[in-house]
Amino acid sequence: MSDIPKDLKYTQDHEWARQQGNLVVVGVTAHAQEALGDVVYVELPKVGTTLTAGKQFGVIESTKAVSELFAPISGKVVKVNDTLTGKPDTVNADPYGAGWIIEVELSDPKQLDGLLSPDAYADQLKNA
């Protein structure tokens, strides 16, 4: 099974969220990038875009499939990972590090409590 970092929260759609003060860094899990295969394109939202938890904010495309990206929390996009425009395969190489997708300013920190813990996410993968 994929490595599941203990300092993150997860969605059932295989996005991860790392809280850093009032900001949350968002990416896709190792499980997601493994299932997708070689990532060839990531559609990024514009800085300033307001996200709603559970709603689509972008697209990730691989040699196998096109998948929607869903916001784990609501807030405003304050930064996007421009590296992914030229090197989308960074998501494959380092999904929890250099392959991050967006940084969001939290509108409601309590939303993080509604995300899956690392153990709950691991259970979801086992039962899938």
Residue 2 binned pLDDT confidence (cut-offs 50, 70, 90): low
Kindly state whether residue 4 falls inside one of the protein's structural domains: no
CB 94 within 8 A of CB 29: no
Q: Answer yes or no: is 55 within a domain.
A: yes
| Number of domains into which the chain is organized | 1
Buried b (16+ CB within 10 A) or exposed e, 6-28: eebbbbebbbbbbbeeeebbbbb
> Are the C-beta atoms of residues 43 and 34 closer than 8 Å to each other?
no
Answer yes or no: is 39 within a domain: yes
Q: Is residue 35 one of the residues assigned to a domain?
A: yes
Report pLDDT digits (tens) over 18-36.
999 999 999 999 999 999 9
Mean pLDDT of the chain: 95
Whole-model pTM over 0.85? yes
Domain that holds residue 44: 9-127
Tell me, yes or no, whether 21 lies in a domain. yes
% of the chain residues with pLDDT over 70: 98
Q: Is residue 2 part of a domain?
A: no
Say yes or no to pLDDT of 1 above 50: no
- CATH assignment at residue 75: 2.40.50.100
Average pLDDT of span 84-99? 97
Tell me whether residue 115 is in a domain: yes
User: Looking at the domain assignment, is residue 62 inside a domain?
Assistant: yes
